[in-house]
Chain A
Amino acid sequence: KAGVTQTPRYLIKTRGQQVTLSCSPISGHRSVSWYQQTPGQGLQFLFEYFSETQRNKGNFPGRFSGRQFSNSRSEMNVSTLELGDSALYLCASSLIAGDYEQYFGPGTRLTVT
């Protein structure tokens, strides 16, 4: 069974631009969560989706948004990029909301210049 896939793997953007990251969960998984990983703040929860509904949101500004499609694929968007948004963005999938076993993708490395 294929794992979680994330595209693109690497991205370089300029301050003020916006970016969209994509995540395809493991086949059959309907819950997707997003995390931001930085050396300073570690792994921080962004939001989670189940059945196209956002179930939980972390403590991030409104510039960070996401959505989930009917096929469980998910996208996250960051508008008006700031230098501090440079990070590894990780997507994790699980069967359902509240199913504790989560499997992470390889991440998208975003660099903001």
Chain B
Amino acid sequence: QQQVKQSPQSLIVQKGGISIINCAYENTAFDYFPWYQQFPGKGPALLIAIRPDVSEKKEGRFTISFNKSAKQFSLHIMDSQPGDSATYFCAATSNYGGATNKLIFGTGTLLAVQP
């Protein structure tokens, strides 16, 4: 129940296209869903995050869509650029049971944007 399932494992998109990465969870106590971007040799960088009281959040070219009833959320990267080529991780956490920063991560999606 603590798992976050992420798909696809890898994704190839043409420059200017839309990249879509999906995640699903089981634990209904999760109340914060961040996405992290990781480049080789670097630590994950917080990209965008959403709470379950909204269905969509947009920051620049990055949008999170959230479906509470389906327990799914997704990251959309509009106008994908070669510089977006990285590994993307979804995650989830909850303060239910006590304040914590413990993140449950998905397995990651390796995105390659071809020029």
Interface residues of A (CB under 8 A from B): 4, 31, 33, 35, 42-45, 48, 50, 55-56, 58, 90, 92, 94, 96-107
Total of A-B residue pairs, C-beta within 8 Å: 74
Residues of B in contact, count (CB < 8 Å) = 25
- 9 A-B pairs with the lowest CB-CB distances in the bound complex, closest first: A98-B99, A104-B43, A43-B105, A97-B99, A100-B32, A98-B95, A104-B44, A106-B43, A45-B102
Instruction: Report the bound CA distance from A55 to B98 in whole Å.
Output: 9
Q: Secondary structure of the A side of the interface? A: strand
Binding site for A on B (CB under 8 A): 32, 34, 36, 41-46, 49, 89, 91, 93, 95, 98-108
CB within 8 Å for A55 and B45 given contacts A42-B108, A45-B104, A100-B93: no
B62 to chain A, nearest CB (A): 16
CA distance A6 to B106 in the complex (A): 24
